[in-house]
Structure 1
Amino acid sequence: MKVVKDWRLWASIIIVTLLGLLSGIFSINAGEYYKSLILPVFAPPAWLFGPVWIILYILMGITFYFILTHADMQQRKIMLSMFIAQFILNFIWSGLFFTLQNNLLSVIDITLLWILLFIQQAFYSKYKPVAMWLMGPYFLWVTFASVLNYAILFLN
């Protein structure tokens, strides 16, 4: 159980989760805006997003730990770059969608995020499979969120 005792694991989980939750804080009137939209029939209730994102950020924090402790320095740099880039795109999406209420820009952002995550998953599958599995639920959620975002763009 050496991994559990490694403070870097806990620091990674806490830092990534807190940074992720900041995007929610910067999303002004997120619930009100979401409820004001014409939503597709498959749209989840607003209350579901918070618990899902907490779980996803925890998994992302664990992934971040495995990236930080990856033995090959060149691969670690590539994985860190991709992780940070996807995290930034994820963070920006909330502001575009909820604060600016710009469905078009949020669709562009989430499309770029999905493409980056697809590339990231392929890289992880080759060099850090545990990271691929940990990021799998996030990739699936962003895939679903992309479809939802496109539907909202077309319905509104």
Structure 2
Amino acid sequence: MTESSSAAPRPPLWTLAAAMAGCLVLGMLSGTLSGSGDTPWYRALVKGSLTPPNWVFPVAWTILYLLIGAAAWRVWRRGDRPGARLALGLFALQLVLNLAWSPMFFGLESVTLGAVTIVPVLLAAGAAMIAFRRVDPAAAAMLAPYVLWLVYATAVAWQIWRLNG
């Protein structure tokens, strides 16, 4: 089977790797620069039953950043479809908000800012997932684990705030 001459050329696979790596590197930088992780401040917080062991966070976020990078790439390569620009704009918004969370929580050592900041991250990610669905349902499905994790992370952040705020 041959592609018709009217079909848009497929971007090379290195662009997929770049999108995935870009999201992963941004997430790692946000965490590293804000001092997230096993710090004396974080260890001293009272954590509720929802808080997972520390090793879960880097594993979960690595998988999630790779998935969201691949999802954004799928929508980007369908940029000619209606709603693709809006979907990518919402994706960029949620990514900026996501990257702001670690500096708010860990960098400023503020359980209140962490609990408050995560809500717009969740809302923007949910909006991006809905917009992705209109462009590429598979891309939306790739965002679903991230949105579910954000629902869980919101509950964890609010529980930590309630116990320490």
TM-score, structure 2 normalization: 0.86
Deviations for 1:77-107, whole angstroms, at most 9, x for unmatched residues?
1111111110011100000000101121222
Is there any run of 5+ residues in structure 1 with no aligned partner, and where? none
Give the Cα–Cα distance (whole angstroms) in 2 for the partners of residues 152 and 130 of structure 1. 34
Q: Which runs of 4+ in 1 moved over 3 A?
A: 2-5
Alignment of 1:4-153 (within 5 A): 6-28=13-35, 30-32=37-39, 33-72=41-80, 74-153=82-161
Which structure dedicates a bigger proportion of its chain to helix? 1
8 A contact 1:30–1:99 mirrored in 2: no
Distance in 2 (alpha carbons) for counterparts of 1:6 and 1:30: 33
Question: Per-residue deviation at 1:20?
Answer: 1.4
Measured after TM superposition, the shift of residue 34 of structure 1 is 2.5
* Largest Rg, 1 or 2: 2
Identity value in percent: 28
Structure 2 unmatched runs, 5+:
1-8
1: CA distance, partners of 2:93 / 2:28:
17
How many Å separate the matches in 2 of 1:81 and 1:101?
Answer: 29
Q: 1: CA distance between counterparts of 2:10 and 2:44? A: 45
TM-score, normalised relative to structure 1: 0.91
